């Protein structure tokens, strides 16, 4: 038995945050929303998926943001993505390059930490 890959990332959000989640994950990051299965939709939250990239937001009544634990997304045109995030009012923080990657951090509307990484091309 071997673990092959991650199927999806689940992040928490407070009740009623679906519109803010859509504005960030779908509009700002460009990950389309897909319908949740009906038996899960009654719990609230949103799912965003494009191909193998799957980010699910679930409602947590006693919500606390993930400040250290985080998903890291490989992106293309990091500068353009950062510009779009900043223009929408999101705070983007630069970090030291990681070997082979330029990277930034942004918090989603709920304070969950998101890492954005772009491979450095020589």
Question: Which residues span the domain enclosing 29?
Answer: 9-60+67-119
Find tokens 């299965």 and name the residue: 37
What confidence tens digit (pLDDT) does each residue in 23-52 have? 999 999 999 999 999 999 999 999 999 999
Measured distance CA(47)–CA(35) in Å, rounded: 7
Q: Please report, in tens digits, the pLDDT of each residue of the chain (122 residues total).
A: 888 889 999 999 999 999 999 999 999 999 999 999 999 999 999 999 999 999 999 999 999 999 999 999 999 999 999 999 999 999 999 988 788 999 999 999 999 999 999 998 86
Q: How many domains does the chain have?
A: 1
pTM equals 0.92
CATH number at residue 32: 3.10.180.10
**Residue 109 falls inside a structural domain:** yes
In degrees, to the nearest 5, what angle opens at C-alpha 113 toward C-alphas 61 and 89?
95
Query: Quick one: which of 53, 63, 88, 51 has its CA closest to 11?
Result: 63
Helix (H, G, I), strand (E, B) or coil at 58: strand
Could you tell me if residue 4 is inside a domain? no
Identify whether 2 is part of a domain: no
Alpha carbon of residue 19 to chain centroid: 14
């Amino acid at each position: 038995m071997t673990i092959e890959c991650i199927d999806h990332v689940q992040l928490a959000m407070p009740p009623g945050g679906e519109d803010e989640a859509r504005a960030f994950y779908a509009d700002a990051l460009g990950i389309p929303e897909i319908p949740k299965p009906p038996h899960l939709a009654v719990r609230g939250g949103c799912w965003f998926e494009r191909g193998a990239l799957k980010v699910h937001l679930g409602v947590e009544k006693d919500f606390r943001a993930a400040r250290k634990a985080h998903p890291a997304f490989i992106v293309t045109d990091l500068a353009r993505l950062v510009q779009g995030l900043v223009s929408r009012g999101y705070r983007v923080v630069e970090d030291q390059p990681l070997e082979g990657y330029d990277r930034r951090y942004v918090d989603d509307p709920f304070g969950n930490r998101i890492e954005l990484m772009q491979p450095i091309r020589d």
